[in-house]
Homo-oligomer: A and B are copies of this chain.
Amino acid sequence: MTVTNGGTHLSGPVLIVGTGLLGTSIGLGLRARGLDVVLSDISPSTQAVAQDIGAGRPLDPSDSAFAPELVVVAAPPDVTGALVVEALAAYPAAVVVDIASVKDSVLKAVTEAADDAALPRYVGTHPMAGREKSGPVAARAELFTSMPWVICASGQSAPDAVRTAEALAIDLGAVVSRMSAEEHDQSVAVISHLPQVLSSLLASRLQDTPAHALSLAGNGLRDVTRIAASDPRLWVQILSANAGRLVEILYGVREDLNRLIGTLENPLGDGARLDMAQLMAEGNIGQARIPGKHGTPPETFARLTVLVDDVPGQIARLLTEIGDTGINLEDLRLEHSPERQVGLAEISVLPGKRHELTDFLTSRGWKVVQ
């Protein structure tokens, strides 16, 4: 892939259609790398914000000579297909990509409505970089740094167009992952849409839970429900667009749930405990398959837990001393305790380093509690 003088793989101009969180973040990222970015949003106020924070310049309707190298459709899934078709027609020399979080439905919409001659210029993509917040104000140039960016070339996508789509991801610091729209939608149905649905199903049960019960909540409940805070408007579109694949997985969940309910209704019945043990064991197996940091399995790190006072600088002091040992901190999480001003820092290191670090920290007066 050729690199321009600016050090980017794209040369621009890049037209971004839709200046929400992702579109504006793409604009900021490309502008930061010196590319000419043009913005367009159906909402003038939204577009104005994106311009004000430096994501690009407004589209000039009178400039009939405007010929972008790349058009990025960053609109809600619902309208993405139509906007891609529009862009393919309006900019006959441009590569057009979209970034919707579902890909097959968009590809179908484009294939049906667009001029066949234009289809080689379209490439579906999905940057896996969401945020709880939305809108251009939450946008950041580095939003995609080191995050996966799935490139879904269709059978008709031209190699040059695919290279341009990948150039966008690479220029924004993302990690390119290639799969078909079908593979992508199957993948996100299980790794993204299913967890979202189960987290929401669980969290909705908490609506009437007494406060004294919630006061006992630990990190387990917090972890399982964290993504239940996601934006309903966006998720309705995502779930609708991937309904067929998601529902197939939910049939399996329902089967397991019904089996578990039957077991719990008769917990002393034959094989009841075996059924429960099997569900738990299958959960163990599935959980262990999730790659950890940098694609390494979770098992490869050893954990130790250190007691820290909840005052400014405590954790910094702890990590500074760990840094002094030259032992790399593979992961860290703080576990806070109710009511008390004290917390537990769970530190992950390479297994070989565990004892060395435990001894060291203990010698420095830290309480290693696990």
Contact = CB atoms under 8 A, between A and B. Distances in A.
Interface of A: 128, 130-131, 133, 138, 140-143, 145-148, 150, 175, 177, 179, 183, 186-188, 190-192, 194-207, 209-210, 212-218, 220-233, 235-236, 239-240, 243-244, 246-247, 249-254, 256-258, 260-261, 263-265, 267-268, 272-273, 276-277, 279-295, 307, 310-317, 319-324, 326-329, 331-334, 336-343, 367-370
Contact of A207 (B201, B282, B319): B282
A205 B286 contact: yes
24 contacts: A128-B216, A133-B370, A145-B307, A146-B339, A177-B216, A190-B205, A190-B213, A191-B217, A191-B218, A194-B205, A201-B257, A204-B283, A205-B249, A209-B286, A217-B290, A223-B227, A225-B287, A247-B261, A247-B264, A250-B257, A254-B257, A294-B339, A313-B323, A333-B334
A206 B228 CA distance: 20
Contacts of A289: 206-207, 209, 214
Nearest to A190: B209
A273 B332 CA distance: 39
Contacts of A277: 232-233, 236
Nearest to A267: B243
A183 to B, nearest CB: 7
A265 B239 CA distance: 11
A240 B313 CA distance: 45
B214 A191 contact: yes
A201 B202 contact: no
Contacts of A283: 199-204, 225, 228-230
B203 A216 contact: no
Copies in the complex: 2
A316 B323 contact: yes
Given A128-B216, A267-B240, A146 B340 contact: yes
A225 B260 contact: no
A91 to B, nearest CB: 30
Contacts of A337: 145-147, 175, 294
A202 B195 contact: yes
Given A190-B213, A197-B279, 14 more contacts: A128-B216, A145-B307, A145-B342, A150-B216, A187-B210, A187-B213, A195-B221, A206-B290, A217-B290, A236-B273, A294-B339, A311-B328, A316-B321, A319-B320
> Considering the complex of A and B, which 10 residue pairs feature the smallest CB-CB distances, nearest first?
A313-B323, A200-B283, A146-B337, A206-B286, A187-B213, A316-B319, A232-B280, A204-B282, A146-B340, A228-B283
